Amino acid sequence: MTEQQLIKEAQQGATDCFTQLVASYQLRLYSYLLGRCTHHQEADDVLQETFIKAYQYLSSYNPQWQFSTWLFTIARRTIGKYQAQYHNHQPIDDENWVTKQDPFAVDRENIWQLIKNELNTKSYDVLWFFYVEQYSIKEIAQITQQSESWVKTNLHRSKMKLSNNSALELMLEAH
């Protein structure tokens, strides 16, 4: 079955077809979420919520866009809401961001962790979608719900900031 057929079947209530779609995209989504979230439990919750929302709103999916961009759009919104809801009430202990007991945490030496700390989440998303997912500017604009010129400017500024970042310089030298 092609992806479009799976989507059509899932739109008519075939959960097994939707599960196949989940299996196809979970690694890409989870990788993005794992880097973006504070800890793996948060990434787990957001991943589940993203797929459940996707199933609920599957009828609103526009096939002129890639299914993955639609999923990333939902994931971005879900993580935003999740973090606004929980982080306002539960302050994150920065020292516990990476623990030895958590084998699935993104380590501090990872450049994506540095981007998250030094830049903002929007810049993180733009860089991730551009360099890792290799989406076009138009597709990133679709996911981030911003204009194409905003994406270009954000990408340019993020690159400039990273080029002038001393912590990154040290990281690259150590490597």
Partner 1 sequence: MTQDIEQRLKQDATTIKTTAAQRLANVDFAKSIEHQLLAQSTKSSHSWLWGMAAAIGLSLMTWLLIENNPTPAIMEPLQLSNTLKEVKQLTHNIEEKVNQPLLKEQQAIIEDFKRLKSQMFSI
> Is 60 or 88 the residue whose CB approaches partner 1 more closely?
60
Binding site for partner 1 (CB under 8 A): 13, 15-16, 18-19, 22-23, 26-27, 30-31, 34-35, 40, 44, 47-48, 51-52, 55, 103-104, 106, 110-112, 127-128, 131-132, 159, 162-163, 168, 171-172, 175
> Is 124 or 142 the residue whose CB approaches partner 1 more closely?
124
> Is 91 or 103 the residue whose CB approaches partner 1 more closely?
103
**CB 83 → partner 1: shortest distance, Å?**
18
DSSP state of 129: I
Burial of 8 (0-12, 13-18, 19+ CB in 10 A): middle
**CB 115 → partner 1: shortest distance, Å?**
8
Nearest to 35 by CA among 82, 126, 104: 104
Q: Contact, 90 vs 118, CB < 8 A?
A: no
> Is 137 or 171 the residue whose CB approaches partner 1 more closely?
171
Q: Contact, 32 vs 130, CB < 8 A?
A: no
> Is 64 or 110 the residue whose CB approaches partner 1 more closely?
110
CA angle (55, 56, 61) in 5-degree steps: 70
Q: Contact, 133 vs 28, CB < 8 A?
A: yes
**CB 117 → partner 1: shortest distance, Å?**
14
Query: Would the CA dihedral through 76, 67, 51, 47 be positive or negative?
Result: negative
**CB 141 → partner 1: shortest distance, Å?**
20
**CB 7 → partner 1: shortest distance, Å?**
15
